[in-house]
A and B are shown apart, each in its own frame.
Chain A
């Protein structure tokens, strides 16, 4: 079974509108972390936001928020007030466990290409 599933290969949004990128995950470990990264065409993976499995509140970072629904195992990224520069590939990723060998091991989804129209 896929550990991280991103079902939207591509999404389109109008500039200044909000958009939600979907991510579902699968793990039996009670301790895990969920990440979203942005990858422009240049290739660099840019960290956007993090949500821990024990965090009670949804994470927010500027225009980015993470809609964490633990029972449904979903961690959707919400981008408010989209900008042209938001056009990129977006990856959801998970780290299982909290220590030792788990620190550097992220499992990524297939990604969603977001296109922002003017």
Chain B
């Protein structure tokens, strides 16, 4: 049990629409990361939030944006959806306070863009 939850579980959108995915953590920690996992591939880092500010970004365009709230919950927003945005979206919380800590992942949101 990682203590990380995500909603919704599944989502279907059409091309050009906007979507908001949510992530919450039972235990408070000030770092959350988002990943995109296309079918049959490993997850790719989208960005990280630390103390409610973006603090590191992968190779994703600005239409991928996020928010982190004081209660450590987080949102991933994707504008102008494209077919290639269809994927499993995972959020992860930092597991500890040392350099050896890991990332604990939520169950993911499966987004389908038609």
Contact = CB atoms under 8 A, between A and B. Distances in A.
B107 to A, nearest CB: 5
A81 interface: no
Interface in B51-86: 55-56, 58
Interface residues of A, number: 29
A31 B60 CA distance: 25
A24 to B, nearest CB: 14
Contacts of A56: none
A26 to B, nearest CB: 15
Contact of A103 (B35, B43, B44, B94): B94
Interface in A28-64: 31, 33, 35, 37, 42-47, 50, 52
- For the complex, would chain B's binding face be called helix, strand, loop or mixed by DSSP majority? strand
Interface string A78-118: 00000000000001010000111111111111110000000
Contact of B103 (A43, A99, A104): A104
B32 A104 contact: yes
Contacts of B31: 103-104
Interface string B23-51: 00000000111010000011111001010
Contact of A45 (B43, B55, B56): B43
A99 B99 contact: yes
A50 B100 contact: yes
B21 interface: no
Contacts of B95: 47
A106 B99 contact: no
18 contacts: A43-B88, A43-B107, A45-B90, A47-B2, A47-B102, A47-B103, A91-B42, A101-B48, A101-B50, A103-B48, A104-B55, A104-B56, A105-B56, A105-B58, A106-B33, A106-B45, A110-B41, A110-B42
Given A44-B105, A105-B33, 5 more contacts: A35-B103, A47-B95, A47-B102, A47-B105, A108-B43
